[in-house]
């Protein structure tokens, strides 16, 4: 199962949040969104925004505000090995 990421609009990612997320509502905004596809089509999205904590709002830090995947991909992901999260530094303007 190969997963591919593509840029998405926040509006289109919020449609998936409204459709698939079990307890969160769509976000009011964000910095950017990423969609996730596999061989069967669209299977998830992530919305990234500014951090909620004021101390972290330094212009270089971002926070994942919503992460949503469809049910059939959740079942497949549970069988994958877990690796440590990647840390990425984004250069400021």
Give the pLDDT confidence of 12-64 residue by residue, as tens digits. 999 988 888 778 888 888 999 999 888 888 888 899 998 888 888 888 888 88
Mean pLDDT of the chain: 78
User: What are the residue boundaries of the structural domains of the chain, listed by start?
Assistant: 4-77
Q: At residue 1, does pLDDT exceed 60?
A: yes
Q: How far is CA 11 from CA 24, 31, 46, 76, 81, in A?
A: 15, 12, 12, 26, 31
Taking Cα atoms as reference points, which of 86, 42, 92, 84 lies closest to residue 64? 86
Q: What is the pTM of this model?
A: 0.72
Asked whether the CA dihedral 11, 13, 16, 22 is positive or negative, the reply is negative
**pLDDT average, residue stretch 66-92:** 59
Task: List phi, psi (to 5°) of 59.
Answer: 85, -5
Residue 8: per-residue pLDDT: 92
């Amino acid at each position: 199962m190969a997963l591919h990421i593509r840029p998405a609009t926040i509006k289109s990612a919020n449609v998936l949040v409204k459709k698939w997320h079990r307890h969160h509502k769509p976000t009011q905004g964000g910095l950017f969104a990423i969609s996730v596809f596999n061989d069967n089509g669209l299977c998830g999205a992530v919305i990234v925004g500014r951090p909620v904590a004021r101390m972290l709002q330094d212009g270089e830090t971002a926070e994942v505000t919503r992460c949503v995947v469809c049910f059939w991909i959740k079942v497949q992901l549970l069988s994958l090995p877990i690796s440590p999260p990647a840390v990425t530094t984004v250069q400021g303007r």
